């Protein structure tokens, strides 16, 4: 296992700071934030008689491409509120994107500090419109590209 460099720590620190806007305001200015939190609540409390959501909603889990996001939010809702779970998933995007880009940069032999250029781009139209389940997948895409690049360099 290789040692972490100061550049690695810089990318990690900036990535963590990038998620601060999700936590420092009571209501982040995202159009669909409340919709996603309420969807997580419905999924999490669907069978709970206290909420009575089963009388008003029908679960059609196979008809959404955002199922992973909502299921993770529902699981997290066992230990936190749906809004906090939503913020945590949002933080995965905001923190994970620069980190995953840094890993990709290292894998292809580039300077990890190039990942810092991604931070201003995190707050984009998709983020503001609240397309959270979509942007949640962006860090996983870069992790996948890094895994592919690593495998392509040394195939089995």
Quick check: is 45 in a domain?
yes
d(CA 42, CA 62): 16
Which are the contacts of 142, defined by CB distance < 8 A and separation ≥ 6?
A: 97, 100, 101, 103, 104
Provide the domain limits for residue 83.
Answer: 6-21+28-153
Q: Helix/strand/coil (H, E, C) string of 84-100? A: HHHHHHHHHHHHHHHHH
How many domains are contained in the chain?
Answer: 1
Say how many residues make up the chain. Answer: 156
DSSP state letter for 18: H
User: Does the residue 68 lie in any domain?
Assistant: yes
With respect to residue 107, please indicate whether it lies within any of the assigned structural domains.
yes
| Residue whose token pair is 């491409």 | 65
Say if 137 falls within a structural domain: yes
- pLDDT bin (cut points 50, 70, 90) of residue 1 is very low
Of the listed ranges 43-47, 88-92, 93-97, 135-139, the least confidently predicted one is 43-47
The pLDDT tens digits for 12-60 are 999 999 999 999 998 888 888 889 999 999 999 998 888 888 888 888 8
Determine, yes or no, domain membership for 1.
Answer: no
């Amino acid at each position: 296992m290789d040692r972490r460099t100061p550049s690695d720590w810089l990318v990690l620190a900036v990535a963590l700071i990038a998620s601060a806007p999700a936590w420092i305001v009571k209501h982040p200015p995202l159009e669909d934030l409340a919709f996603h939190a309420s969807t997580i609540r419905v999924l999490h409390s669907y069978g709970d008689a206290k909420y009575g959501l089963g009388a008003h909603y029908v679960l059609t889990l196979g008809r959404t491409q955002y199922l992973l996001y909502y299921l993770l939010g529902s699981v997290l809702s066992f230990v936190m509120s749906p809004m906090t779970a939503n913020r945590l998933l949002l933080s995965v995007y905001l923190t994970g994107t620069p980190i995953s880009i840094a890993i990709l940069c290292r894998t292809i032999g580039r300077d990890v500090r190039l990942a810092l250029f991604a931070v201003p781009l995190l707050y984009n139209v998709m983020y503001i419109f609240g397309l959270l389940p979509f942007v949640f997948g962006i860090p996983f895409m870069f992790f996948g590209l890094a895994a592919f690049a690593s495998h392509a360099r040394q195939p089995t």
